[in-house]
Amino acid sequence: METASSAAPLKRSLAQPPSSSDASGDSTLIDIQNLDFYYGAKQALFDINLRIPDKRVTAFIGPSGCGKSTLLRCLNRMNDLIDGTAVKRGTIKVRGVDIYGRTVDPIELRKRVGMVFQKSNPFPKSIYENITYGLRIQGVNNKTRLDEVVEKSLRGAALWDEVKDRLHESGLGLSGGQQQRLCIARTIAVEPEIILMDEPCSALDPIATAKVEELIHELKKQFTIIIVTHSMQQAARCSDRTAFFYMGKLIEFDETRNIFMNPKNPQTEAYVSGRFG
Amino acid sequence: MDSSSTHLFAARPGPARRAESAVAWIFRIATYLILACGLFVFADIIWKGAPTVLRSFALTESFPYVTNTFLFEAPETLHVFTYEGEKRELGDTAYRAFREAEIAKAAAAGQPAPRFTPTSYVYAAGGIWPCIVGTVLLVVGSMFIALSLGVASAIYLSEYARDTAFVRFIRLAILNLAGVPSIVFGLFGFAMFVLFFKWNVSLLAGWFTLAFMVLPVVITASEEALKSVPKGFREGSLALGATKWQTIRKNVLPYALPGILTSSILGIARVAGETAPIMFTAAYVVRDKLPWEVEKVGDFFFQGVMALPYHIYVVSSKIPQNDYTQRVQYGTAFVFLGIVALIAASSIILRNKLRGRYKW
Amino acid sequence: MKRFFDSELETFRSDLLRMGEVAVRQVRDALQALVTGDVKLAERVIAADDELDELEKRIDTEAIRYMNLRSPIATELRLVIVGMKASHDLERVGDEATNIAKRALRLAAEPPLKPYVDIPRMAGIAVEMLRDALECFLHADNAKAVAVVKRDKEVDALNKQLYRELSSYMVEQPGTISRALELMFISKGIERIADHATNIAEEMVFLSDAQDIRHDESLKKGDKAL
């Protein structure tokens, strides 16, 4: 089992056939190779090969049950929490390190790979406590530092102006969209490198959705974002790359505009044009 | 045909329609019947028990200016006798003092000593203070043990243990334990704590026996309470790099606490009311010392105590019955109800306070 | 609320305006070259047509990308569609201007057939129509757009008049046939430019309130107002 410690970003290897328009020279941050994933005896992912670029938004699309959320949850090992799940073959490397390696602590991994969930889940604590939660569990208790992080994260999540006067009120008093942005702020407060978003807008109204999309556009300057979405428009609007999954297999991965304009695979075309799903 | 019966949504008579109102009435009657029975029992206890408690109020000269014989004194034997043509009812202590005084008075006056021919009734005088103290001690101690063990095991079962056949078996076993008769727990406690651990009849043995009796309820209910905390709280916390225990301690347990307390309210009522588990393990028929009157601190845990339910059991079935003992029976039952209500009320208040603080 | 891709629409709009400006300039310069016999100017007009072609391609690419990725609706959808159509019209205007410039080059080598009076007048109207149509794009002025549509008749009339005039030249003096033909084509070109301006004006009405006023004769006769 490989537990490489090389932290150098893996450059796109020439041996790998580059996808047609993927010549932008982005460095690969996450390298998934030959991944097979099982829920108990049921195979959920089949031989996934995917290179996710650094500081870009990558969208996973596909019909329900196609494995896109499963793959997302593999990336910060949230699947570990479900009994009977296992990576039976293949590797996922983040910055060259196999995250399923024996010496990898999932706790440390999750500090670097944050996650925003489908249902906004602010803790029933104050806005301030929500943001500082991640730092406090890491043992940071310095008030000045926490204050700084709270402001920085809330500004980063475009929420500061809306909540700066009620930082000590419950996070549950916010609207749905604000709650989801609070969750994003909470995630960026621990300064991860990658943010996974599992259908972050599926419970939001269009305006709140637009705000979150706006935010994603801002965040990609600092973070690598992977977003699972059921909304094709959302994938088209927000992402730079799009991966289409069907029945646990990666059907097509390309620049977003190619996926939506000129998909190579007829299944992709059928899905993005709404003819099945 | 008038217009009200011709429109589209007019009622149509039929078997379903008739059954509907009949069934509603059956349910209603059943409910009110239960309520009436309950009210009758409570009213009976209050009607007969309240005078015993209320009559024994007396004024004192120092703080708190009022005292209650029934609540704050130990049980005594009641002596009923006729003296100088007057019928008197005195507790043992008062009777002895009275007799001494009368005999001394007669001796001073050079008269022959008066004769006393009292009829005596055990436990019919004095109060139930040691029983109250004992019951409170038993409840507090056993709930402490039950909650710490129960919550720990609930956390293990619902958060840590994998969902294997063995864990499901454990869960089923715990659930079944809740249905075991309390006398079985009493015998188990007697065999295990009193004999095997050689704790004798003691508070400690009573605590553990009662704790084991309510543990199934506490574990099951705590597990439910933990499960009712949204999955998102755990995922959100874990996704920020928290460990499992950090997640549970900071983000799950606080929100499960109101639910756990709700379950423990049920447990408290049961612990306070059980006679069978304590009669072999912790309860004394009579004990003249209060629990804190011990020589060594260690002795505290190894002494038997009096307890309300056991006292009721003794006065209502182990001694000859008459009007005087009946007063004590009902009085004790009344106080007992009051205490259970008090404990339940304070738990509910605490729970609501917590629920207000940790709302989601 | 502003969205991160709003700037893309801004670029799109300004590209379209830029194209309009270039097209107007091309027509004016081509006419100037014809009237003054300025060969250099004519050559410059021919060379500058590439800019219009490039802009048309860019607008089309942007429009397709925008429709593909941003799922535009309502005003945005109309803007993108109208942008594609108007850019095509403007590109055709540019082609006509190039054509005129080429003929101006050939005519410059020969003595003028007659003083240029009607052709500059016609071109003046066509350029004004084009300008007004673009003005409608800036200010969503429907009344002005209808005026543009109506003015198309003036240009048509002038074109017919020139046609008759040049025909008589050709009949009377066969030596003028080649020059007269050039002028006839130039006149026809100007008439086509005015048609494109009309199209653009109609498209602008569609852009501002989704009304299709094409082939509406009552509007042209002035029986109906918008």
Q: Single out the residue in B66, B96, B125 at which a domain terminates.
A: B125
Q: Single out the residue in B92, B125, B158 at which a domain terminates.
A: B125
Cβ contacts (< 8 Å) between A108 and chain B: which residues? 241
> In 3D, which of A55, A76, A22 has the Cα closest to residue A243?
A22
Q: Nearest C-alpha of chain B: how many angstroms from A110?
A: 5
Query: What is the distance, to the nearest Å, from the Cα of residue C156 to the centroid of all Cα atoms in its chain?
Result: 14
Do A137 and B233 lie within an 8 Å CB cutoff? no
- Give the up-direction half-sphere exposure of residue C209: CA atoms within 13 A in the CB hemisphere: 9
Do C3 and A213 lie within an 8 Å CB cutoff? yes
Average pLDDT of the residues in B287-297: 79
Cis ω for the linkage preceding B64 (within 30 of 0) = yes
Cβ contacts (< 8 Å) between A207 and chain C: which residues? 1
Residue B40 maps to a domain: no
- Which chains are within 8 Å of A by 3+ CB pairs? B, C
Q: State the burial class of residue B80 (Cβ atoms within 10 Å of its Cβ: 0-12, 13-18, 19+).
A: middle
C4, closest residue in chain A (CA to CA): A214
Can you give the pLDDT at residue C160?
94
3-state secondary structure of A231: coil
Residue B214 maps to a domain: yes
Contact C126, C27 (CB under 8 A): yes
Task: Dig out the tokens for B282 from the structure.
Answer: 């912790």
Can you give the pLDDT at residue A196?
95
HEC letters along B94-115: HHHHHHHHHHHHHHHCCCCCCC
Report the CATH architecture of C6-220.
Up-down Bundle (1.20)
Do C1 and A213 lie within an 8 Å CB cutoff? no
A82, closest residue in chain B (CA to CA): B162
CA gap C189, C199 in Å, rounded: 15
Do A107 and B237 lie within an 8 Å CB cutoff? no
From the list A78, A83, A138, which residue is nearest B163 (CB)? A83
Average pLDDT of the residues in B268-276: 82
Q: Based on the domain organization, do B177 and B266 belong to the same domain?
A: yes
Q: Based on the domain organization, do B178 and B92 belong to the same domain?
A: no
Contact B311, B128 (CB under 8 A): yes
Q: Based on the domain organization, do B83 and B165 belong to the same domain?
A: no
The contacts of residue C75 (CB under 8 Å, 6+ apart) are C207
Q: Nearest C-alpha of chain A: how many angstroms from B229?
A: 11
Percentage of chain A modeled with pLDDT above 90: 65
Can you give the pLDDT at residue B355?
77
From the list B162, B234, B242, which residue is nearest A137 (CB)? B242
The lowest-confidence range among A97-101, B228-232, B268-272, C45-49 is B268-272
From the list B232, B246, B251, which residue is nearest A117 (CB)? B232
Task: For A117, list phi and psi in degrees, rounded to 5.
Answer: -100, 165
Q: Nearest C-alpha of chain A: how many angstroms from C210?
A: 24
The lowest-confidence range among A35-44, A146-155, B66-75, B220-229 is B66-75
Contact B163, B179 (CB under 8 A): no
Do A172 and B250 lie within an 8 Å CB cutoff? no
B44 pLDDT higher than 70: yes
CA angle C80/C129/C28 to nearest 5° reads 100
Is the Cβ of A39 closer than 8 Å to some Cβ of chain B? no
Q: Based on the domain organization, do B115 and B137 belong to the same domain?
A: no
Q: Tell me the one-letter amino acid at A187.
A: T
Can you give the pLDDT at residue A13?
36
Do A123 and B251 lie within an 8 Å CB cutoff? yes
Q: Based on the domain organization, do B330 and B299 belong to the same domain?
A: yes
The lowest-confidence range among A204-208, A264-268, C104-108 is A204-208
Q: Based on the domain organization, do B118 and B181 belong to the same domain?
A: no
3-state secondary structure of C218: helix
A78, closest residue in chain B (CA to CA): B239
Q: Based on the domain organization, do B84 and B220 belong to the same domain?
A: no
Can you give the pLDDT at residue A113?
94
Beta bridge partners of C191: none
Q: Based on the domain organization, do B84 and B145 belong to the same domain?
A: no
Q: Based on the domain organization, do B257 and B331 belong to the same domain?
A: yes
Query: ipTM exceeding 0.90?
Result: no
CA gap B210, B135 in Å, rounded: 12
CA gap B354, B348 in Å, rounded: 10
Residue B48 maps to a domain: no
CA gap B316, A118 in Å, rounded: 63
Do A236 and C69 lie within an 8 Å CB cutoff? yes
Task: Dig out the tokens for A185 from the structure.
Answer: 């702020």
Q: Based on the domain organization, do B273 and B139 belong to the same domain?
A: yes
Cβ contacts (< 8 Å) between A233 and chain C: which residues? 71
With an 8 Å Cβ cutoff, the interface of chain C facing chain A consists of: 1-5, 64-65, 68-71
Contact C159, C187 (CB under 8 A): yes
The C-alpha R_g of chain B, in whole angstroms, comes to: 28
Do B240 and A111 lie within an 8 Å CB cutoff? yes
pLDDT single digits (tens) C137-193: 888 888 899 999 999 999 999 999 999 999 999 999 888 899 999 999 999 999 999
CA angle C214/C216/C219 to nearest 5° reads 115
Average pLDDT of the residues in A237-254: 94
Q: Among the residues of C109-176, which ranges form H helices?
A: 118-139, 142-172
Do C1 and A211 lie within an 8 Å CB cutoff? yes
CA angle A257/A259/A263 to nearest 5° reads 130
Can you give the pLDDT at residue A63?
92
Collect contacts of C79-85 with beta carbons under 8 A, ≥24 apart. Answer: C79/C9, C79/C12, C79/C13, C79/C207, C80/C12, C82/C203, C82/C204, C82/C206, C82/C207, C83/C12, C83/C13, C83/C16, C83/C59, C84/C59, C84/C60, C85/C199, C85/C203
Can you give the pLDDT at residue B145?
94
pLDDT higher at A277 or A266:
A266
The beta strands (E) that lie in chain B are given as 57-59, 66-68, 75-83, 86-91, 119-126
Is the Cβ of A173 closer than 8 Å to some Cβ of chain B? no
A235, closest residue in chain C (CA to CA): C69
Collect contacts of C215-224 with beta carbons under 8 A, ≥24 apart. Answer: C219/C146, C219/C149, C220/C149, C220/C150, C220/C152, C220/C153, C222/C150
Can you give the pLDDT at residue C211?
85
pLDDT higher at C185 or B289:
C185
Contact A49, A259 (CB under 8 A): no
CATH of the domain at B200: 1.10.3720.10
Q: State the burial class of residue C26 (Cβ atoms within 10 Å of its Cβ: 0-12, 13-18, 19+).
A: buried
Q: Nearest C-alpha of chain A: how many angstroms from C60?
A: 14
Task: Dig out the tokens for B302 from the structure.
Answer: 């190894």
Task: Dig out the tokens for B198 from the structure.
Answer: 């050689």
Do B359 and A107 lie within an 8 Å CB cutoff? no
Q: Nearest C-alpha of chain C: how many angstroms from A177?
A: 15
Confidence of residue B5 (pLDDT cuts 50, 70, 90): low
3-state secondary structure of A154: helix
Cβ contacts (< 8 Å) between C7 and chain A: which residues? none
> In 3D, which of A99, A126, A79 has the Cα closest to residue A29?
A99
pLDDT single digits (tens) A50-82: 999 999 999 999 998 899 999 999 999 999 888
C62, closest residue in chain A (CA to CA): A257
DSSP assignment string, A157-187: TT-HHHHGGGTTSBGGGS-HHHHHHHHHHHH
Confidence of residue A239 (pLDDT cuts 50, 70, 90): very high
Contact A3, A102 (CB under 8 A): yes
Q: Among the residues of chain A, which ranges form H helices?
A: 68-75, 106-112, 127-137, 143-156, 160-163, 176-189, 206-219, 232-238, 256-261, 266-272
- Which chains are within 8 Å of B by 3+ CB pairs? A
A131, closest residue in chain B (CA to CA): B240
B290 pLDDT higher than 90: no
DSSP state for residue C71 in the 8-state scheme: -
Is the Cβ of A81 closer than 8 Å to some Cβ of chain B? yes
The contacts of residue B63 (CB under 8 Å, 6+ apart) are none
Q: Based on the domain organization, do B107 and B253 belong to the same domain?
A: no
> Do chain A and C touch: 3 or more Cβ pairs under 8 angstroms?
yes
> In 3D, which of B165, B143, B266 has the Cα closest to residue B212?
B143
Best of C60, C71, C76, C77 to disrupt the A interface (most A CBs within 10 Å) is C71
Beta bridge partners of A59: A227, A242
What total number of domains does chain B contain? Answer: 2
CA gap A74, B263 in Å, rounded: 38
Best of B240, B247, B358, B360 to disrupt the A interface (most A CBs within 10 Å) is B240
A210, closest residue in chain C (CA to CA): C3
Q: Nearest C-alpha of chain B: how many angstroms from A194?
A: 12
Name the residue range of residue B86's domain.
77-125
A22 pLDDT higher than 90: no
Distances (CA, A) of A25 to A11, A14, A33, A53, C72: 9, 11, 20, 9, 30
Query: What is the distance, to the nearest Å, from the Cα of residue A162 to the centroid of all Cα atoms in its chain?
Result: 25
- Which chains are within 8 Å of C by 3+ CB pairs? A
Confidence of residue B359 (pLDDT cuts 50, 70, 90): low
> Do chain C and B touch: 3 or more Cβ pairs under 8 angstroms?
no
Do A207 and C65 lie within an 8 Å CB cutoff? no
Do A115 and B239 lie within an 8 Å CB cutoff? yes
Average pLDDT per 10 consecutive residues for chain C, totaling 226 residues: 85 94 95 92 94 95 91 91 95 96 91 85 94 90 90 93 92 90 94 95 90 79 60
pLDDT single digits (tens) B176-219: 988 899 999 999 999 999 999 988 888 999 999 999 999 998 99
CA gap A232, B109 in Å, rounded: 114
Structural element, H or E, at residue A52: strand A42-53
Task: Dig out the tokens for B64 from the structure.
Answer: 């708190």
Strands A28-39, A42-53: pairing is antiparallel
From the list A214, A260, A261, which residue is nearest C4 (CB)? A214
Q: Tell me the one-letter amino acid at A144.
A: T
B39 pLDDT higher than 90: yes
Q: Nearest C-alpha of chain B: how many angstroms from A225?
A: 15
Is the Cβ of A171 closer than 8 Å to some Cβ of chain B? no
Task: Dig out the tokens for C175 from the structure.
Answer: 């030596």
The lowest-confidence range among A126-130, B14-18, B19-23, B208-212 is B14-18
B237, closest residue in chain A (CA to CA): A134
Can you give the pLDDT at residue B320?
79
Model's pTM, two decimal places? 0.78
Task: Dig out the tokens for A166 from the structure.
Answer: 């009620």
Can you give the pLDDT at residue B248?
94
Do A121 and B358 lie within an 8 Å CB cutoff? no
Contact A58, A238 (CB under 8 A): no
B344 pLDDT higher than 90: no
Q: Single out the residue in B96, B125, B154 at which a domain terminates.
A: B125
Location of structure tokens 């046939």: C177
Edge-to-edge strand order for the sheet containing A194-198? Answer: A113-116, A194-198, A224-228, A57-61, A241-246, A249-255
Do B359 and A172 lie within an 8 Å CB cutoff? yes
Structural element, H or E, at residue B23: helix B15-55
